[in-house]
Chains A and B, each alone.
Chain A
Amino acid sequence: MYRYLIKRTFSALVVTWIVATLVFFMLRAVPGDPLAAMLFDVGDPQAAQELSQKYGLDQPVHIQYVKWLGHMLQGDFGSSIYGSRVPVSQIISEALPRTISLALLSFFIAITIAVPAGIFAAIRKNSALDHSMTMLAFLGLSMPDFWLAILLIIVFAAHLHWLPAIGYVPISQGVWPWLKHLILPSIAAGTAFSAIIARMIRSSMLEVIKTDYIQVARSKGLRKKTILLVHALPNALIPVVTVIGIAFALLMATTVVIENVFSIKGIGRVLIQGILNRDYPVVQGAILVVSVIFIFTNLLVDLLYTVIDPRIRYE
């Protein structure tokens, strides 16, 4: 098993490198030479000269690439071409906690709703509860996430004034303020994810309930709750874990949009603003961070798999 872990981790690192390289070359392929534009913006010729040397802009592409890689590994992602030339790494390190807060809270809320919903729908198959859950799931999947966000804002912020519509408060300033600002965004971001998980759990549970070993468990006279939670659910969760990996990627994609709706300065907002402003160092850095998040989430899910399924653990 350890050989598998090492292989997967290595593969993840390779993919990260490939993505970084792709990002590098693709942004330089953009018509209009944004980096020249970047220099032009600088104004002061001396500073321009320094920048040019630092990033090797006057040199052939492959040398630029190597220089860039070197900078990256040292944590230097360049600076925003605007205003006070804030280093990209600083922008990202301020943005990251916000994105992670939102993603985790969304994940948590979604799972808390989806798992019981899926289980109940399975044990009461074809009941009114089941049908309404399926319909809700369809709705959740068909609604644009940003539209749901807007609806939530209209109802809860604009009309009821219960919750704020924008902004983010770091948890250091209090748990409730932090939570208050994240509730609506989390619901908006987590709904589609929740729908996918709930449906998956339902179908997985239905499969598991039909198995021989569950019939054996019943024949042993075990309590219904035990059979459901100890015998059935762990087996049902195994295929769900794969789906969680894919669904989490969707969750992250949604987070990018949601951050923009609620003006939360997370990675997603940084990325979009960067694209709109043609602030390429920022875009580069943000794309890389987002990519790394995806790659390593996939890795995590693969590893999680080995923990959950004893058949894989003891090969």
Chain B
Amino acid sequence: MELTKLSSLFEVEDLRTQFFTPTGIVKAVDGISYTVDEGETVAIVGESGCGKSVSALSILGLIPEPAGKIAGGSIRFMGTDLLKLSDEEIRRMRGRQFAMIFQEPMTSLNPVLTIGRQIRETLQTHLGLSREQAMQRAEELLGMVGIADAGGRLKQYPHQLSGGMRQRVMIAMALSCEPELIIADEPTTALDVTIQAQILELMKDLTHRFDVALIIITHNLGVVARYADRVNVMYAGKFVEMGTALQIYHGPKHPYTLGLLRSVPRLDHPRSERLIPIVGQPPDLTRLGNGCTYEPRCSFRVSRCAAEFPPMQNIGDGHFSACWQYKEVDQTTRDRS
């Protein structure tokens, strides 16, 4: 009998994370809510500085105190609110139930420890494997991520591996304890273009094979289109649009999403066509007003936008938009296609 799912694997509700700086409180994450189901791939898209990495660190409990603080909200993982757990309890879940892949493979591995050591640590710590068992599993994992001569590589040090290989090692480390959720923060941004595709394919393949949910954080729309089931568009600490990849791409309903899509050069459009960048600068996160945060740069704005912050509205079929003018945005998209 099929049980109806009462809750998703992973639910974030109204998460707010802040940093205390000499110039004021930076609201890096200002109330985001989303869910991730088992085995699903959800993308969080946005420019640098919009708060996507901070939201990932918040999930893992890696926000440095006292400089920063999670100011509110809840993060439910398999029913448990992570924000209510003690440090020790979260530590036990890190690497075991959820894991993270970071952006910079060149600096993410410890230069004085062997690859083997760095992979087997989690297995020994969380699963209680012996050194030999852990090494064996590490070798298997390296093979799974496509590294040849896995046994030999285990004894090597990070500086002996290329950037792409190091990222594969990171993936292996993340998968080692077979977590339910992996968060990948810009996993391919620091890699060569040719390697990027390989790594992404690898991640897609492995997450499907192990039924791991994946949150992929990126500013690269191309990545999102191919690999994500659902997409959350983030701007200045808030989500502005949420939906399936298809919905976002073919029918964006927020000016920012539209702006992002239009500013990406496309091979299938004529070269003479001009790129339309988004005007203006990202906002100062210490000085956010009452209205829509995107309003100053928005070409669809009306007076209401500066006065009232638009809430996230369900516009049907699991597609959400936080814009008073979403109908106009939709119209523009239809007109152009």
The chain A residues found within 8 Å of chain B, CB to CB, are 211-213, 215-223, 226, 230-231, 234-235, 238, 308-311, 314
Per the bound structure, the CA–CA distance linking A235 and B95 in Å amounts to 23
Chain B positions within 8 Å of A238 at CB level: 112
Contact with A along B136-167 (1 / 0, CB 8 A): 00000000000000000000010110000000
User: Is the pair B110, A314 in contact by a Cβ cutoff of 8 Å?
Assistant: no
28 contacts between A and B (CB under 8 A): A212-B108, A213-B108, A216-B100, A216-B102, A216-B108, A216-B173, A217-B110, A218-B62, A219-B99, A219-B102, A220-B95, A220-B121, A220-B122, A221-B93, A221-B96, A221-B125, A222-B95, A222-B122, A222-B125, A223-B91, A223-B125, A235-B111, A235-B112, A308-B112, A309-B111, A311-B157, A311-B159, A314-B159
How close is A213's CB to chain B, nearest CB, in angstroms? 4
- A314 to B157 Cα, complex, angstroms: 9
Q: Report B's interface with A, CB cutoff 8 A.
A: 60, 62, 91-96, 99-100, 102, 104, 107-113, 121-122, 125-126, 157, 159-160, 170, 173
Contact of B112 with A221 in the complex, beta carbons under 8 Å: no
Does the CB pair B112–A310 fall under 8 Å? yes
Q: Are B104 and A234 in contact (CB under 8 A)?
A: no
Q: Give A210 Cβ to nearest chain B Cβ, in Å.
A: 10
A221/B111 in contact, CB under 8 A:
no
Measured CA separation A226–B95 after assembly (Å) = 15
Identify the closest chain B residue to A308 (Cβ): B112
Q: How far, in Å, is A279 (CB) from chain B's closest CB?
A: 50
B94 & A216 in contact (Cβ 8 Å cutoff): no
Which chain B residues border A216 with CB–CB below 8 Å?
100, 102, 108-110, 170, 173
Beyond the given pairs A211-B107, A222-B122, A311-B157, 19 more chain A to chain B contacts, judged by CB atoms under 8 angstroms and listed by A's residue number, are: A212-B102, A212-B108, A213-B107, A213-B109, A216-B173, A218-B62, A219-B99, A219-B102, A220-B95, A221-B91, A221-B96, A222-B91, A222-B95, A222-B125, A226-B121, A310-B112, A311-B159, A314-B157, A314-B159
User: Which of chain A's residues have a CB closer than 8 A to the CB of B126?
Assistant: 221
Contacts of B102 in A (CB 8 A): 212, 215-216, 219
Complex Cα spacing A129 to B150, Å? 46
| Residue in chain A with minimal CB distance to B93 | A221
In the complex, the answer to whether A231 meets B110 with C-beta atoms within 8 Å is: yes
Q: A231 near B95 (CB under 8 angstroms)?
A: no
A222: which of B93, B104, B121 is its contact (CB, 8 Å)? B121
| Alpha-carbon gap, A311 to B62, bound state (A) | 29
Q: Decide: B91 and A219 in contact? CB cutoff 8 A.
A: no
**A219-B94 contact in complex given A230-B113, A235-B111, C-beta closer than 8 Å:** yes
Q: How far is the CA of A157 from the CA of B238 in the complex (A)?
A: 71
**Whole-angstrom distance from the CB of A307 to the nearest CB of chain B?**
11
Chain A nearest CB from B219 CB (Å) reads: 19
Q: Which residues of B contact A308 (CB under 8 A)?
A: 112
Interface of A is mostly: helix
Which chain A residues border B159 with CB–CB below 8 Å?
Answer: 310-311, 314
Complex contact A221–B92 (CB within 8 A): yes
For the complex, what is the distance from the CA of A211 to the CA of B107, rounded to whole Å? 8
Given A218-B62, A231-B110, A231-B113: A212 and B104 interface contact (C-beta under 8 Å): yes
A215-B62, A219-B99, A220-B173 given; A234·B112 CB < 8 A: yes
Chain B residue at smallest Cβ distance from A211: B107
Closest 9 CB pairs of A and B: A221-B94, A221-B95, A220-B95, A212-B107, A213-B110, A310-B157, A219-B100, A234-B112, A216-B108
Cα distance, A117 to B97, chains bound together (Å): 36
Closest to B100 in A: A219
Are B111 and A213 in touch, CB under 8 angstroms? yes
> Whole-angstrom distance from the CB of B93 to the nearest CB of chain A?
7
Residues of B within 8 A of A309 (CB): 111-112
**In the bound complex, CA of A236 to CA of B95 (Å):** 25
Chain A neighbourhood of B125, CB < 8 A = 220-223, 226
| A219 and B60 contacting across the interface, CB-CB below 8 Å | yes
In the bound complex, what is the Cα–Cα distance between A221 and B94 (angstroms)?
4
The distance from the CB of B210 to the nearest CB of chain A, in whole angstroms, is 17
Q: What's the least CB distance linking B307 to chain A, in Å?
A: 41
Chain A residues with Cβ under 8 A from B107's Cβ? Answer: 211-213
Taken together as a complex, chains A and B put the C-alpha atoms of A223 and B88 apart, in Å, by 9
How distant is the Cα of A309 from the Cα of B170 in the complex, in angstroms?
22
Q: Which of A220, A230, A234, A314 contacts B160 (CB 8 A)?
A: A314
Q: Specify which chain A residues have a CB less than 8 angstroms from the CB of B93 in the assembled complex.
A: 221
Q: How far is the CA of A235 from the CA of B60 in the complex (A)?
A: 25
Residue of A nearest to B157 (CB): A310
Contacts of B108 in A (CB 8 A): 212-213, 216
Chain B residues lying within 8 Å of A234, measured Cβ to Cβ, are 112-113
Closest to A230 in B: B113
B126 (CB) vs chain A CBs: closest residue: A221
Contact B110 A220 (CB under 8 A): no
Q: Give Cα A213–Cα B109 distance, bound, in whole angstroms.
A: 5
A311 and B111 contact, Cβ closer than 8 Å, known pairs A219-B60, A223-B125:
yes
Q: Smallest distance from the beta carbon of A74 to chain B beta carbons, Å?
A: 46
Most chain B CB within a 10 A radius of its CB, from A212, A226, A238, A311: A212
Complex CA distance for A259 and B151, rounded to whole angstroms: 55
